[in-house]
Amino acid sequence: AQSVTQLDSHVSVSEGTPVLLRCNYSSSYSPSLFWYVQHPNKGLQLLLKYTSAATLVKGINGFEAEFKKSETSFHLTKPSAHMSDAAEYFCVVSGKVGNQFYFGTGTSLTVIP
């Protein structure tokens, strides 16, 4: 069965410092992995997607994620946090059937000025 664990429910960083949001997954096959961002009162927006190409994936707004199969991890990083990055972030893994998706419980990112 597929599952996604976001290791931190809340993360606080100072503006200008690095961001690390952690995600581990469990899967019996090679899934697609995603990160989405949700700003208050908005829908979820795709940040980046990993399929089977490069293990380091670049997304929008300066975010990156690295797929590590040996660690079953897909952590999201950004070198320098901006106030506008404050939001909820969701790690998502695809199911064995292409139309299935499994969501983590989310990580709330606070950026301190």
- Three-state DSSP state, 57: strand
Kindly state the smallest distance separating residue 7's Cβ from other proteins, in Å: 15
Least distance between other proteins and beta carbon 101 (Å): 5
User: Which residue lies nearer to other proteins by CB, 1 or 113?
Assistant: 1
Q: By C-beta, is 13 or 37 nearer to other proteins?
A: 37
Minimum CB separation of residue 107 from other proteins in Å reads 11
Task: Identify which of residues 30 and 80 has a Cβ nearer to other proteins in the complex.
Answer: 30
Q: Which residues contribute to the site for other proteins (CB under 8 A)? A: 31-32, 34, 36, 41-46, 49, 51-53, 90, 92, 94, 98-99, 101, 103-106
Beta strands 56-58 and 23-26, pairing class: unpaired
Contact 110, 12 (CB under 8 A): yes
The CA–CA distances, whole Å, from 40 to 22, 33, 71, 73, 96 equal: 21, 23, 32, 27, 31
